[in-house]
Structure 1
Amino acid sequence: MQKSLYTQENKILLQLLYETRKMAGLTQVQLGALLDEDQTFVSKVESGLRRLDLIELNAWCVAVGLSLPTFIARYERSLGRTA
């Protein structure tokens, strides 16, 4: 099995994290503040240097105004699957 860091699925996840932040009209600094983190945390997540666990992903979703199920559904659609 290929390491997930180097898969198309991970690239899609990172792109979706970036897009959700941008669609919410937030800068990395603003999102970091909402997450009680700094800008480098957001940058590392979006560039794939830092992974999110489920709780952190949920916090990201809440901060950008999405529910976790909505985010997962968007991810599934981006993969060409139906959620």
Structure 2
Amino acid sequence: MPPSLRSRRHRRLAELIARYRDAAGLKQSDVAKQLGRHQPFVSGIESGQRRVDLVELLDLAEVIGFDPHELLKELRKTPRE
């Protein structure tokens, strides 16, 4: 069975992205604009309602200014379900 959007790791990923964005002093709308998207795109990722693919994650890291390797290290600390 594929992992749910509500799996522990998906929830943690959404939380980390939101935390990094907040720490950068950016609003969801700021990030969305730089990505050429609308604010609900970022909101959906941060709320766990939308999966983020690898390319989107790299784009988010570039816009927000976080190291994707660090995010993945943090995410690996979260046990699989």
Normalization by structure 2: what TM-score?
0.83
The structural deviation recorded for 1:9 is 1.4
- Determine which structure has greater relative contact order: mean sequence separation of CA pairs < 8 Å that are 6+ residues apart, divided by chain length: 2
The runs of 5 or more residues in structure 2 that have no matched partner are none
Alpha-carbon separation, structure 2, partners of 1:34 and 1:11: 24
SS of 1:30's equivalent in the other structure is helix
What is the one-letter code of the residue matched to 1:15? E
SS of 1:4's equivalent in the other structure is coil
Identity score, percent: 32
Equivalent position of 2:49 in the other structure: 49
Normalization by structure 1: what TM-score?
0.82
What is the one-letter code of the residue matched to 2:34? L
The structural deviation recorded for 1:35 is 1.1
Where does structure 1 differ by over 4 angstroms across 4 or more consecutive aligned residues? none
The structural deviation recorded for 1:2 is 6.4
Alpha-carbon separation, structure 2, partners of 1:14 and 1:56: 13
Alpha-carbon separation, structure 1, partners of 2:63 and 2:70: 13
Equivalent position of 1:21 in the other structure: 21
Deviations 1:20-71 (A, max 9, x none): 1101110011010111111111111111221111000000011111122122
Equivalent position of 1:73 in the other structure: 73
The structural deviation recorded for 1:7 is 1.5
Tell me if structure 2 keeps the 8 A contact 1:31–1:63.
yes
Q: How many aligned residue pairs are there?
A: 79
Give yes or no for the alignment of 1:3 onto 2:3.
yes
What is the one-letter code of the residue matched to 1:44? G
